[in-house]
Structure 1
Amino acid sequence: MTKEEIRSVYKAKRAAIDPRQKLKLDDLLLLQFQQLDYAGVETLLTYWPMSGQAEPNTHLFSGYLRHMLPGLQIAYPVSDQPTSTFTAVLIDESTVYHTNSWGITEPTAGIPLDAAAIDLVLVPLLAFDEEGYRVGYGKGFYDRFLANCREDVVTMGFSYFPPVPRIADTGQFDVPLSYCITPDRIYEF
């Protein structure tokens, strides 16, 4: 299937998940997430799950890491829609957020963080394939950003569903994940 076909199918599959079932699936994702070793992670780039998109609750994962890794620096993306790029911005307990015109919640201010300083990136996705490539929302923000990260940066996605065999139209600028976590298992690429 192509990215566009996958996008359509998986948006519908996620929308069909009962809210009570979604809470259970998020708990199962967290249990899988807790199985990995995060020694050496000092900086995390995460994202705010979009309301209405039934995205996995990334706050569970960043909360766990905050608890386990004292001193962890956490950043969120702040998008520049005209260029389809974003800047990682450090947050703290006083950070104020707003929701942009695409429904993405972002910090209103903060200290920009160099992409090369990030150790772990939680990457949004709609689906992923058996080679670690993902289908996002189609603007290429994350692939552009990840191209500027260190070669050893850990990239991680979360899906309520197992992988598709292959994304037919993966391109040269698509960046594969290091891991994708589902409620049943951890996929390492």
Structure 2
Amino acid sequence: MNKKELRDIIRQRKRQFSSDELRELSLAVCQRLLAHPRVAAAKTILLYYSLPDEVCTHNLVDELVDMGKKVLLPAVVSDTDMEARVYRNADDLKLGAFGIAEPVGEKYADLKTIDLAIVPGMSFDNDGNRLGRGKGYYDRFLSAIPYIYKIGVCFDFQKVDHVPHSTHDIAMDEVL
């Protein structure tokens, strides 16, 4: 199976759930994240502000900020690149590329201070291989900070035995 075929399969699986059901399934994933020792220890976390078909992180970003964590969210800045920006609260957000809410403000340049990356994906396998949406933004961004611990998050129905991958694809250290 190639990447396009797997994306199509996962999209079909996602359509079997209502938005309310996906939000409900998201709660368990977010609770596992909040209880994770890497999250507890991290001072600066790269996260994402979810799309409707992803594990919902809208409350999680605020909970992490309330815990005193510095939360960074990606912002797409070109056809090939994204950058990290600090999230303080929902007032920081505006709709950006691909209809994704992105923080306004300055680029977070001190990437070496990021302790943890929590990364969405279309699909993951047990080896941490990740299938994204096909644009390569996360792979390019994460390749510049390979030392960061990476947790992939998805719904259980998005996990498969094998995700097709190539040398430029960045694997996760763990998948929840």
User: In which range does the TM-score fall when normalised by the shorter chain?
Assistant: 0.7 to 0.9
Q: Kindly indicate whether residue 46 of structure 2 is the aligned counterpart of residue 45 of structure 1.
A: yes
| Structure 1 letter corresponding to 2:170 | V
Deviates more, 1:119-128 or 1:17-26: 17-26
Corresponding residue SS for 2:5? helix
Q: What is the aligned-residue RMSD (CA, Å)?
A: 2.0
- Distance in 2 between residues matched to 1:92 and 1:25, nearest whole Å: 25
Structure with greater proportional helix content? 2
- Displacement, 1:95? 4.8
What letter is aligned with 1:43? Answer: T
Local SS of the residue matching 1:6: helix
- 1:168-179 to 2 correspondence within 5 Å? 168=164, 170-179=165-174
Structure 1 pair 40–32 and aligned structure 2 pair: CA distance change class (3 A): closer
Q: Which residue does 2:143 correspond to in 1?
A: 147
User: CA contact under 8 A between 2:34 and 2:40: conserved in structure 1?
Assistant: no
TM-score scaled to structure 1, two decimals? 0.82
Report what 2:151 is aligned to.
Answer: 156
Instruction: Report the equivalent of 2:175.
Output: 180
- Which residue among 130, 155, 167 is the counterpart of 2:126? 130
- Map of 1:70-85 to 2, 5 A cutoff? 70=68, 72-82=69-79, 84-85=80-81
Structure 1, unpaired ranges of 5+: 182-189
What is residue 54 of structure 2 aligned with on the other side?
Answer: 55
Distance 1:99 1:46 in 2: 16
Partner of 1:9: 9
Any conservation in 1 of the 2:92–2:103 contact (CA below 8 Å)? yes
Partner AA of 1:63 in structure 2: D
1:95/1:110 contact within 8 Å kept: no
Identity %: 24
Aligned partners of 2:126 and 2:175 also within 8 Å = no
> Contact 1:79–1:86 (CA<8 Å) still a contact in 2?
yes
The 1:36/1:55 distance shift into structure 2, 3 A limit, reads same
TM-score by length of 2: 0.87
Q: 2-side partners of 1:23 and 1:94: how far apart? A: 18
Unpaired runs of 5+ residues, structure 2, are: none
2:112 is matched with 116
What's the offset of the Cα at 1:92? 2.0
- Aligned length, in residue pairs: 174
2:10 aligned counterpart, secondary structure: helix
Deviations 1:76-95, CA, capped at 9 Å, x for gaps:
1111233x111111122485
Note if contact 1:95-1:109 (Cα within 8 Å) is conserved in structure 2.
no
Residue 133 of structure 1 aligns with an amino acid whose one-letter code is N
Is structure 2 residue 162 aligned with structure 1 residue 166?
A: yes
User: CA separation in 2, counterparts of 1:161 and 1:167?
Assistant: 14
Within 2, Cα distance between the matches of 1:179 and 1:106? 25
Q: Distance between the aligned counterparts of 1:178 and 1:62, measured in 2? A: 21
Q: 1:92 to 1:19 in 2, by over 3 A?
A: closer
**Residue number in structure 2 paired with 1:107:** 103
Aligned CA distance change for structure 1 residues 167 and 148 (closer, same or farther; 3 Å): same
